[in-house]
């Protein structure tokens, strides 16, 4: 496969003065334009989090730049044949991953497991595996035996923990896509009295780099044009974002109006008006 587009995801919690954020935003925007990067990077007083794509040289320069400014970062790499983002944006947000709880502030490393350590701990019989992602992501794939908290947004995670009924001393293995949600999910659990919670460093993406044949089953949802990556970190051939409702879908159709091949979701496929490649074609199709 010709994989000329390189993709990297990384974050770090690093205290940044609020007044410095706009300057940093400008610098990062300029850096991205100079190197022809595409992607989305979030900046907050708690740190930086982004997924970007570009040439091999541009991605190497980006990593070097981030490490120079923010210290060590675990990067998760993959590749694709075409850009997975349309634009380059750097946004200032209240949090780099939104749990919406002021008391949940990552300040040090907490019980991180490398993919190797994680793999070993999965073999223990008395562990509870909890997926910290949203229900729609988990629907595409998860670790064998993992619990789906059935949340629609990460800010619901602390409430899930409260009603989960999991014993407080149970050994818990937490994971998410790239590790960032777990940094806060661990704290949310510890604040509710859990004493034995571990997190997968670098998330599913770091795990799959080393264990494509491991116990992660299905595909891993990603927040870009790939929709998901398979166990070899290649762009999904199965999933697409439904143009009508924005959910991941698997139903391959030819647009009823323009005949373009498209993937839509099964719910929208149930609606004859939506068997189209776009909202626009669906609109045209509805006309008498
Ligand atoms: Zn749909
Ligand atoms: Zn169409």
Query: Measured between alpha carbons, how far is 201 from 184 in angstroms, rounded to an integer?
Result: 13
Question: Residue 287 pLDDT more than 80?
Answer: no
Assign 2 a pLDDT band (cuts: 50, 70, 90).
low
Query: What distance in Å separates the CA atoms of residue 227 and residue 51, rounded to the nearest whole number?
Result: 14
Residues 180-207 have pLDDT tens digits of: 999 999 999 999 999 999 999 999 999 9
> Do 40 and 8 form a contact (C-beta atoms < 8 A)?
no
Please name which ligand lies nearest the alpha carbon of 258: 2
Radius of gyration of the chain from Cα atoms?
20
- Compute the half-sphere exposure of residue 79: CA atoms within 13 Å on the CB side of its CA: 10
Mean pLDDT, the chain, rounded, equals: 95
Residue 288: per-residue pLDDT: 67
* Closest ligand to residue 269's CA: 1
Report the predicted TM-score, pTM, of the whole model to 2 decimal places.
Answer: 0.90
**Catalytic pick among 38, 53, 176, 220:** 176
| Inter-CA distances, 242 with 72, 159, 236, 252, Å | 37, 30, 14, 10
The closest ligand to the CA of 279 turns out to be 2
Domains and CATH numbers, the chain: 5-92 (3.30.70.100), 112-223 (3.40.250.10), 240-286 (no CATH)
Query: Does pLDDT of 273 surpass 70?
Result: yes
| Residue 265 is among the residues annotated as catalytic for this protein | no
Residue carrying structure tokens 């850096």: 31
Q: What percent of the chain has pLDDT over 90?
A: 92
Cα 267 to averaged position of ligand 2 atoms, centre (Å): 18
Q: Residue 264 Cα, ligand 1 centroid: separation in angstroms?
A: 6
Q: How far is the CA of 109 from the centre of ligand 2 (A)?
A: 49
Question: What is the mean predicted confidence (pLDDT) over 163-192?
Answer: 97
User: What one-character DSSP code corresponds to residue 235?
Assistant: B
Instruction: List phi, psi (to 5°) of 235.
Output: -55, 140
CA of residue 224 to ligand 1 center, whole Å: 17
Ligand 2 midpoint to CA 255 (Å): 5
**How does residue 285 score in pLDDT terms, banded at 50, 70 and 90?**
confident
pLDDT of residue 90: 98
Query: What does the angle CA 81 – CA 42 – CA 142 come to, to the nearest 5 degrees?
Result: 60
Ligand number nearest CA of 274 is 1
User: pLDDT tens across 108-158, in order?
Assistant: 888 999 999 999 999 998 999 999 999 999 999 999 999 999 999 999 999
Tell how far the Cα of 40 is from the centroid of ligand 2, in angstroms: 28
């Amino acid at each position: 496969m010709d994989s000329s587009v390189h993709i990297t995801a990384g974050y770090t919690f690093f205290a940044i003065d609020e007044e410095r954020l706009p300057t940093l935003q400008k610098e990062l925007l300029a850096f991205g334009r100079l190197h022809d990067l595409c992607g989305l990077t979030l900046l907050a007083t708690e740190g930086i989090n982004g997924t970007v794509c570009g040439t091999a040289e541009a991605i190497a320069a980006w990593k070097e730049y981030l490490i120079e400014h923010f210290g060590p970062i675990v990067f998760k790499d993959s590749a694709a044949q075409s850009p997975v983002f349309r634009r380059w944006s750097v946004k200032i947000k209240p949090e780099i991953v939104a749990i919406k709880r002021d008391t949940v502030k990552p300040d040090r490393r907490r019980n991180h497991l490398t993919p190797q350590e994680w793999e070993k701990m999965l073999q223990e019989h008395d562990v509870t595996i909890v997926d910290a992602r949203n229900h729609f992501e988990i629907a595409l794939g998860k670790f064998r035996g993992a619990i789906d908290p059935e949340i629609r947004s990460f800010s619901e995670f602390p409430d899930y923990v409260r009603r989960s009924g999991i014993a407080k001393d149970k050994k818990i293995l937490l994971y998410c896509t790239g590790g960032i949600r777990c940094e806060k999910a661990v704290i949310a659990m510890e604040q509710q009295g859990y004493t034995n919670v571990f997190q997968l460093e670098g998330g599913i993406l770091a795990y799959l780099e080393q264990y494509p044949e491991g116990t992660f089953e299905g595909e891993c949802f990603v927040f870009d044009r790939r929709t998901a990556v398979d166990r070899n970190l290649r762009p999904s051939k199965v999933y697409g974002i439904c143009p009508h409702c924005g959910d991941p879908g698997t139903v391959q159709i030819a647009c009823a109006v323009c005949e373009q091949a498209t993937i839509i979701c099964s719910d929208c496929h149930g609606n004859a008006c939506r068997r189209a490649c776009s909202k626009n074609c669906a609109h045209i199709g509805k006309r008498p």
